[in-house]
Amino acid sequence: MVFRSVKITLLSAVMFFCSQVVAFQSTVATSMITPARQTSALHSSLDPLGPSRNAASSPEMKKKDLRTFQRFLEVECWKNGEIRNLDRTLLAVADACKQINRIVQRAQTDDLYGAAVDPLTGELAEENVQGEVQQQLDVLCNTIMLRAFCGASNNVVCAVASEEEPLPRSCADVMGYDTSEFNILQSGEYVAVFDPIDGSKNIDSSLPVGTVFGIYRVPDGASAGKDGVNLDNFLQRGTKMVAAGYCLYSATTVLVLTLGSGVHGFTLDPDKQKFLQTHPNMRIPGIGSLYSFNEANYREFSEPVQKFLTNMKQAGAIGGKKVSSRYVGALVADVHNVLINGGIYGYPATRDNVNGKLRLLYESAPMAMIMEQAGGAGSTGHGRILDVLPPQRKKNSGHKKSDVEPDDDEAGKGIHVRVPTFLGSVENVYELEQCFKYYGEEDN
């Protein structure tokens, strides 16, 4: 009996011990699992893709209720009869920006790099009009923009000029239409100019790049020209532009657009792949403390520009903010920074490049229109960029103005004409022009 009770006690002790071991093991197991669970819970709240799946339930990452670019265009184009039929074209341009954004994002991982190769001959591409060997990426982005402007189904754009092409092209040519079948060359009320990928060297070091574009109305009564290109339709003052914009591929992808009544900014929602109106009615500060010049060229700048920069630095602070220099080396990125924060962007004439580096038609003029529409200014140092008339064709007697004349190749270079460029807050640009007045040479 005593023996039996000892046996029971021993059995209970063993059972108790076993239960403790199980409890201990499960505690250990829990304590080993818990941190991992906690970590994964933590990760899921920080997971950049997580919130898109739980957008509604995650208060930190809740989507803002923003107007889409499409809706904006529908309303703006409906309000303004002048540009009523441009909405599809501009939507196509926004889509092109999305495509270029994806290409830029993949530039390091996908085989898009290197000089372009002629698909027929297999030979490396030659230098473009800018004296640079075209890269695959340039060719691809150029094709995307050409098709955006020419392929929008309502054919409102009749011809296009690109930084990547020596001469403008008709949309019929771009789209490969059979021009003998119907009068496609005569259709289209606008011409478009663009730089598909501005500052493309920045891609090597994962820095921002951009796309710039402008749209001009074909003057009343102007003919489509031989083969659908009338150079006169391109060689117009910037004041004749009906729309200008840029896309910036940077920390965020941004589309900034003016249709001649203010400037609006849209950010690409990476989850929805839609441009949303994050910056309605953009206004540049009247004065700013930021200057954005390639100061390595300082000794090559003219005296007025040198004086202006020295004055800015000596001021120490402007508008209550410390003077600061910022230069990314991509026009779109630098100008966007100035537009948001105020100040001045400049690419002045240098000793070697008497007209600076930037192209009037598809860089300086669209940016100047955006600046002016945002309450800022765009100047050559001596006057408004938008008033600059590109070099005109020689009017040979015996030829009608609309005909392509023997000197058109030469005149076509007017498409790529350069102009000293200063863009920014009104007060800063005014100061700059004053420097040209007081320190400039007589013949300026």
Q: Which residues bind ligand F6P (CB under 6 A)?
A: 198-199, 294, 329-331, 334, 347, 357, 363
Nearest approach, Cβ of 75 to ligand F6P (angstroms)?
32
Q: 3-state DSSP: the chain helix, strand, coil percent, rounded to 5?
A: 45, 20, 35
Nearest approach, Cβ of 387 to ligand F6P (angstroms)?
22
Nearest approach, Cβ of 94 to ligand F6P (angstroms)?
21
Residue closer to ligand F6P (CB basis): 96 or 333? 333
CB 292 within 8 A of CB 338: yes
CB 271 within 8 A of CB 53: no
Residue closer to ligand F6P (CB basis): 185 or 203? 203
Q: Which residue has the tokens 């899921």?
A: 44
Give the Cα separation of 21 and 184 in Å (integer): 87
Long-range contacts for 217-221 (Cβ within 8 Å, ≥24 apart)?
217/189, 217/190, 217/242, 218/158, 218/188, 218/189, 218/190, 218/191
Give the Cα separation of 439 and 409 in Å (integer): 38
Give the Cα separation of 73 and 152 in Å (integer): 15
Q: What are the C-alpha distances in Å from 182 to residues 85, 148, 185, 236, 392? A: 21, 22, 8, 28, 31
Nearest approach, Cβ of 333 to ligand F6P (angstroms)?
8
Which residues, in sequence order, are bridge partners of residue 318?
321
Residue closer to ligand F6P (CB basis): 243 or 338? 338
Residue closer to ligand F6P (CB basis): 169 or 357? 357
Residue closer to ligand F6P (CB basis): 149 or 347? 347
Nearest approach, Cβ of 380 to ligand F6P (angstroms)?
16
Q: Which residue has the tokens 């040198």?
A: 306
Residue closer to ligand F6P (CB basis): 193 or 330? 330
Nearest approach, Cβ of 349 to ligand F6P (angstroms)?
12
Residue closer to ligand F6P (CB basis): 211 or 267? 211
Nearest approach, Cβ of 68 to ligand F6P (angstroms)?
29
Q: What are the C-alpha distances in Å from 48 to residues 42, 52, 251, 269? A: 12, 8, 14, 13
Q: Which residue has the tokens 């920390």?
A: 251
